[in-house]
Amino acid sequence: MSLTKTHHRDTYPTISPTKPSLSQVGKTVLITGAASGIGFEIARSFAKASAARIIISSRKISSLNAAVEKLRNEFQSSGTEFITRQGDIGDDSSIIALWDYLDSQNIFVHVLVLNAAHVTPFGPDTLSMDKQELMQTFDVNVGGNFLMSSRFVKQLLRPAGQQLNLVFVSTAGIQRHPAPAQNPYTTSKAAFTALLGRIADERSAEDVQIISFHPGLLHTEGVVSYFGQNLPGFDEMALPADFSVWAASPEASWLHGRFVWAHWDVDELKADKDFCTQLEQEKGFLKVAVQGLGGVSFDSYFD
C-alpha cells in the first residue's frame, strides 16, 4: 500500500514538528481521543511545533488528568498551554457542551484533529452483529465526527477569512481485519472519509484545509487487546503524530480533501509529475470510491 519507493516506519525531517515551516505558533489545537495512544502522541507533536494552546479531549477524566500532567511536565518551558475537556463524541449533547464551553471562554480553535473512534463490535459474522452496537459505531465514527466538524467550521469566534485545518485519523484503506475479527469500524471510517472528501469539494483549502490519513500499524492498547502482541511490523508513534502536524500546515494544502498514508514519502509524492497530474485531473483520485472505477461525477450522466 505505497505510492512511493520510500516507505516510512518512523518520522523524518520533512514532517518534523520542529521544522520552521510547520510551526503552529499562535494556534489553538483540539484533539479528540487524546488521553493515550496516538492521540497523546499527536498532542506531543503539536507541542513540539510550538502551538499556543492544546486541548485534549477524551471520555475518561482520570486518563485525561494523567495525560495532561505528563504533557505539562515535558513541555513546561515551551509556553504551550494544555487544557483537558471530558467528552464523548458519540453524544451530541457532549459535543455541543464542548463547543459552548470554548465559546464561553473566548477560545477559538484553529486546528481540529479527529482521532477518537468506536472500534467494536467484533465478530466472525457481520449479519450476526447486534444492530444497536453496529449503529453505535456509525454514531461515533460518522455522526460524532460530523457534528464536531460542523461546530468547528461554524465557530462563533471565527474571524472572517480565517483558515482552519481539519485532520482526520482514518483507517479507510484497510478492507478487513484477519478473521474472526470482522467489524464495522473500518467501514464507518471509510464513510466519514468519503464525507470529508465531499465537504472538501464544497470548501476550498483556504477556507478549511482537510486531510485524511492512515496512521499505520501502531502498538496501542486497543490493537494489542484485539490482535495480540505478536503482529509484525509496528510503526513508530512519531510517524503519524508528526504527520498530523504536517497535514495541518500549508505544505499539505495540495492534498486537500484526499486520503493518504503516513507511510508515503511526501517529498517523493510532490516530485512525481504523473502523480500530481492525476491528482489535478481526477477529482476522485485518493478519495473513497468503488474499486475498479475511475472518478465518476454527476455531470457524466449528462454527457
**pLDDT tens figures, 59-114:** 999 999 999 999 999 999 999 999 999 999 999 999 999 999 999 999 999 999 99
Output the pLDDT for position 176: 43
- The amino acid at residue 29 is V
**Half-sphere exposure (Cβ direction) of 244: Cα atoms closer than 13 Å:** 34
Average pLDDT for 259-268:
96
Q: Which helix (H) or strand (E) holds 201?
A: helix 185-202
- DSSP labels for 223-246? HHHHH-TT-S-PBPTHHHHHHHHH
Give me the percent of the chain exceeding a pLDDT of 70: 86
Report whether 111 contacts 30 (CB < 8 A): yes
Output the pLDDT for position 292: 62
Give CA separation, 294 vs 189, 282, 298, in Å.
21, 8, 13
Give CA separation, 216 vs 145, 174, 213, 236, in Å.
20, 10, 9, 9
Residues taking part in catalysis: 170, 185, 189
DSSP E strands, 88-229: 111-114, 164-169, 208-214
Query: β-pairing, 53-58 with 208-214?
Result: unpaired
Output the pLDDT for position 263: 95
Residue 127, pLDDT > 70, answer yes
Output the pLDDT for position 120: 78
Q: Which of 168, 215, 242 lies closest to 17 in space, CA to CA?
A: 242
Output the pLDDT for position 169: 96
Output the pLDDT for position 226: 60
Q: Which helix (H) or strand (E) holds 28?
A: strand 28-32
pTM (predicted TM-score): 0.92
* pLDDT bucket at 295, cuts 50 / 70 / 90: low
Classified as helix, coil or strand, 109 is coil
Residue 175, pLDDT > 50, answer no
Name the least confident of 19-33, 85-99, 276-290.
Answer: 276-290
Angle, in degrees to the nearest 10, between helices 92-104 and 145-153: 20
Average pLDDT for 259-270:
96
What b/e sequence results for 58-92 when a residue is b if at least 16 CB atoms lie within 10 Å of its CB, and e otherwise?
A: bbeeebbeebbeebeeebeeeebebbbbbbbbbee
Residues 6+ apart with CB under 8 A from 302: none
